[in-house]
Structure 1
Amino acid sequence: MGNLILALDVMSGDNGPNVILPAALQALASNSQLKLLLVGSPEILYPLLADKGAKKNNRFKIIPAQYTITNYLNLLQAIRQSKGSSMRIALELVKSGQAQACISAGNTSILIALSKIILKTIDGIERPALVTILPNKKHGKTVILDLGANIKCNSKMLVQFAGMGVIIAENIADINNPRVALLNIKTEENFGLDNIYEAALMLKKIPFINYIGYLESDELLTGKTDVFVCDGFTGNMILKTMEGVIKVILSLVKYSTTKNKISSHLIQLIQTWLQKRIIKYFSHIDPDQYNGAVLLGLHGIVIKSHGAANQKAFQAAIEQAIKAVEKQIPDVIANRLNTLLPKSD
């Protein structure tokens, strides 16, 4: 395809331009078709770019923004005062067609609210959902949604998430006839909340969705399903817990590798072998490699990066945006949804 043009909210997140600019420059070096619109304060960005030896060229352009939306504002204040902010301008660049996707590490709730206001939801989608794709132990991929866009979900929303998850599994993860499961506290049919039970009844009746039933949270990385559906509160908690555990394991193992003073050569060889196996297994699900959740269900592509993302992680978010653009995800969802899901009452 031709040039890819992405809008980056450079000012948002815990680290702002100090992380996002190096990630942007590395992404440009890795992809000759990529162009970036860097939305932020010119007074801050130009000196930083000069320090990094980045010369002016036609593959990146600074789009001035007056200020950054901070986490100190509540949702209503942030929306009312969003005009001229780096987050809003980046989203407006997508709406106007000047950019094909927006990437932001800003406040999740504010980004979702502004995205809905500016880009609007696709017909048939009640609420957008955050989705990511994780590797599983069967060397496959698992699509999980929602990851925090919707704290409370009714049964119809869960079914809509399932439909969008199927589309992502088919088009991004290249999975044929993906299996869909609902996250629940038990696998038996009579357990769980009413919205999950009602969603299960609805999914069983949809011929175009390969629904396999309930799964518990410990099955997330086992490969037993291709699409894992849950509400945003539960999904966010599961993902953050998993990421935290993986980071602790990797840091402990790497620390032990460098600090261990065991005298027995045989014991040291065995421990080194085990450490390498652990690092190899957990490194393939290193959260930094899978940063960047796609906000599905909008007339435009929005990628939410972790607020504390490092350079490697933000580069991964840029890669997620590129994949979503190449696969034209909003158009595919809009075109497939009517055939995949039954009409709402």
Structure 2
Amino acid sequence: MANLTLVIDAMGGDRGPSIVVAALARALQSFPDVNFIVTGDEPRLKALFARESKVNKNLDLTRLTIHHTTQIVHMDDKPGECLRKKQDSSMRVAIDYVAEGKADACVSAGNTGALMAMAYLHIKTLPGVIRPALVAPIPTAGGSQGFLLDLGANPVCDAETLFQFGVMGTVLAKEMVGVSEPKVALLNMGTEEIKGPDVVKQAGLLLAQSPSINYRGFIEGSDLFTGKADVVVCDGFTGNIALKSCEGMAKLVFDHFQASMKDHWLSKALAWLLVKRQRKSWQWLNPDQYNGASLIGLRGVVVKSHGNASANAFYSAITHAIKEAQIQLPERIQAQVEAVLSEQS
């Protein structure tokens, strides 16, 4: 495959473009065959890259292009107003690069609703896909990785849409992680077939009837990270709450652990030894490496970084986008969707 081009919305997110520039400086060194386009305030971005160049004398900026934009999509902006009034925003221009085939993938830490709306209207969905889904990797038992979708792009879904999420998630797990037959499950309030809303039960029937899907039934929230499923499917309302609840609990546990380790000098010493010994295991749980939720089902690659992401986390989102572009994920999803649709006809 020819050299890739990645476009980055530098003005989205809570921490400003300095985080994006730091992540890009690392990406320029890690991916010598990738060209980068950055959309945003050109004078500000040039100053930030100049500062990075002083720190890193080997930084090669010849593969970097800055596209100046005059508007910013803020976190509290309404998606509809962004579509109508912010056509020269860093987010919209980045989306247009992918829509026009001038970039292979886009990464933004900006307003999720606006990003979803712009991508849906301008990049458009793949043939046969009802709705794109927001999906993110999650850690599972044994150091492996699963996927959870939808995470908020579609608060309400019908059974056919949930079924398609299972199809698209299967392709994602196969191509991104290398699972030969990904286990697919529906997130529900219980594992029994009689439990849950009718739409979830109907989606279960559709998944069970498809020979292309390794469907394992319902899964409860307590089993999200056990590895019982490689792909967990739900509507965006449920998925968003589930993911953020897990993030909140993880932060609570970590903060409590840190506080307890500061109580006594012996606790501090034991904590230092524990961290040193378990560094590799804890790195597997580091949320930075899971940053980057993908909008799958579109004709191009779009990755949404967490709005409050650090430079390391934003770098992870960049690596996710590059990998999806390298394996031509949209084309692979389209092929699988067409195959499943032909099974149903």
TM-score by length of 2: 0.92
**Partners of 2:4 and 2:207 in 1: CA distance:** 36
**Partners of 1:49 and 1:165 in 2: CA distance:** 37
Structure 2 CA distance for partners of 1:143 and 1:293, relative to 1, 3 Å: same
How far has the Cα of 1:203 moved from its partner?
1.1
CA displacement, residues 84-130 of structure 1 (integer Å, 9 cap, x when unaligned): 11101001111222211010111111100100111110111111001
Q: 2:37 maps to what in 1? A: 37
Q: 2:97 maps to what in 1? A: 93
Residue 143 of structure 2 corresponds to residue 139 of structure 1: yes
**Partners of 2:225 and 2:18 in 1: CA distance:** 33
Residue 289 of structure 2 corresponds to residue 289 of structure 1: yes
Please give the secondary structure, in 1, of the residue aligned with 2:136. Answer: strand
Show structure 1 runs of 5+ residues with no match: none
* Identity among equivalent pairs (%): 39
**Partners of 1:139 and 1:172 in 2: CA distance:** 15
Alignment of 1:9-28 (within 5 A): 9-28=9-28
How far has the Cα of 1:144 moved from its partner?
1.2
Q: 2:336 maps to what in 1? A: 336
Residue 125 of structure 2 corresponds to residue 121 of structure 1: yes
| Preserved CA contact (<8 Å) 2:28 2:60 | no
CA displacement, residues 233-291 of structure 1 (integer Å, 9 cap, x when unaligned): 1111111121222233334334544x24256xxx8776666666777655422221110
**Partners of 2:243 and 2:148 in 1: CA distance:** 9
CA displacement, residues 141-184 of structure 1 (integer Å, 9 cap, x when unaligned): 21211111111111011000000000001111100111110000
Please give the secondary structure, in 2, of the residue aligned with 1:52. Answer: helix
| Preserved CA contact (<8 Å) 1:162 1:180 | yes
Q: 1:200 maps to what in 2? A: 204
CA displacement, residues 27-67 of structure 1 (integer Å, 9 cap, x when unaligned): 11122112210100112211222222267832101011111
Comparing 285-294 and 131-140, the one that deviates more: 131-140
Alignment of 1:142-221 (within 5 A): 142-221=146-225
| Preserved CA contact (<8 Å) 1:253 1:279 | no
| Preserved CA contact (<8 Å) 1:206 1:342 | no
Show structure 2 runs of 5+ residues with no match: none
**Partners of 1:284 and 1:335 in 2: CA distance:** 32
**Partners of 1:255 and 1:37 in 2: CA distance:** 42
Structure 2 CA distance for partners of 1:44 and 1:163, relative to 1, 3 Å: same
Q: 2:245 maps to what in 1? A: 241
| Preserved CA contact (<8 Å) 2:76 2:111 | no
Q: 2:73 maps to what in 1? A: 69
| Preserved CA contact (<8 Å) 1:69 1:106 | yes
| Preserved CA contact (<8 Å) 1:37 1:60 | yes
Structure 2 CA distance for partners of 1:163 and 1:341, relative to 1, 3 Å: farther
Q: 1:8 maps to what in 2? A: 8
Please give the secondary structure, in 2, of the residue aligned with 1:57. Answer: coil
How far has the Cα of 1:340 moved from its partner?
2.9
| Preserved CA contact (<8 Å) 2:5 2:37 | yes
**Partners of 1:325 and 1:228 in 2: CA distance:** 23
Structure 2 CA distance for partners of 1:342 and 1:148, relative to 1, 3 Å: farther
Please give the secondary structure, in 1, of the residue aligned with 2:138. Answer: strand
The letter for the 2-side match of 1:47 is A
Q: How many residues align?
A: 341
Structure 2 CA distance for partners of 1:122 and 1:268, relative to 1, 3 Å: closer
**Partners of 1:344 and 1:117 in 2: CA distance:** 28
**Partners of 1:272 and 1:317 in 2: CA distance:** 30
**Partners of 1:141 and 1:251 in 2: CA distance:** 24
The letter for the 1-side match of 2:64 is F
TM-score by length of 1: 0.92
| Preserved CA contact (<8 Å) 1:163 1:341 | no
**Partners of 2:269 and 2:79 in 1: CA distance:** 55
Q: Compare the two structures and name the one with the higher helix fraction.
A: 2
CA displacement, residues 203-243 of structure 1 (integer Å, 9 cap, x when unaligned): 11111111110010110110011110011111111111212
**Partners of 2:109 and 2:272 in 1: CA distance:** 37
